[in-house]
């Protein structure tokens, strides 16, 4: 079976408000900007992106489950679910796809409850605090990891 050249981009709760939500923390870039940056980075390496944002945990989990049939990896910013959702973490672990965890702000320099991530131990790439350009970094690193597995 050939590895599909597609990534799932998952953005969790409240990321639909990027550009207007706490610009002093998240900047002025929008969710459309996030998707464009990710798609450009993936396209440059021969991959396409299926993007999903939802404020509903079950919708995110269903999309992650579906990704195992037609995606080579997942780029995820789970938003607040990063710090609370064992179910989301288990979904990522269950599909056995490589995962890149992205956070626009530096979660380790924010409120103490944000310092812990349920996603970290199932992700092979971590990009934290690079703003929206961090999505491109995460995408490139994830594709490099996928290509390394495919070549090895």
pLDDT of residue 152: 43
Which of 15, 37, 16, 18 shows the shortest CA–CA distance to 28?
A: 18
**18: pLDDT strictly greater than 60:** yes
Rounded to whole angstroms, the Cα distance separating 135 from 111 reads 22
- Mean pLDDT, residues 112-118: 90
Binding site residues for substrate, as ranges? Answer: 77, 83, 90, 104-105, 114
**14: pLDDT strictly greater than 50:** yes
Answering whether pTM is above 0.85, one says yes
pLDDT of residue 1: 42
pLDDT of residue 3: 61
Which of 92, 102, 96, 70 shows the shortest CA–CA distance to 6?
A: 70
For the stretch 50-98, pLDDT in tens is 999 999 999 999 999 999 999 999 999 999 999 999 999 999 999 999 9
In degrees, rounded to 5, the angle at the alpha carbon of residue 91 between the alpha carbons of residues 90 and 94 is: 85
113 pLDDT band, cuts 50/70/90, is confident
**112: pLDDT strictly greater than 90:** no
36 pLDDT band, cuts 50/70/90, is very high
**26 labelled catalytic:** yes
Domain map of the chain by residue range?
6-151
- Mean pLDDT, residues 28-34: 96
- Please state which of the four CATH numbers 3.20.20.80, 1.10.150.120, 3.40.50.9100, 3.40.640.10 is assigned to the domain occupying 6-151: 3.40.50.9100
What average pLDDT does the chain have?
94
């Amino acid at each position: 079976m050939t590895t599909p050249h597609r990534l799932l981009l998952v953005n969790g709760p409240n990321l639909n408000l990027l550009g207007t939500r706490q610009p002093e923390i998240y900047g002025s870039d929008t969710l459309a900007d996030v998707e464009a940056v990710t798609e450009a980075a993936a396209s440059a390496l021969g991959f396409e992106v299926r993007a999903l944002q939802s404020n509903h945990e079950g919708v995110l989990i269903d999309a992650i489950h579906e990704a195992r049939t037609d995606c080579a990896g997942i780029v995820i910013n789970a938003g607040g679910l990063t710090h609370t959702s064992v179910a989301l973490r288990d979904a990522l672990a269950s599909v056995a796809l490589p995962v890149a965890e992205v956070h626009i702000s530096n979660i380790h320099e924010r409120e103490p409850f944000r310092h812990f991530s349920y996603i970290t131990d199932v992700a092979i790439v971590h990009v934290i605090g690079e703003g929206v350009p961090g999505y491109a970094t995460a995408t490139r690193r994830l594709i490099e990891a996928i290509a390394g597995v495919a070549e090895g």
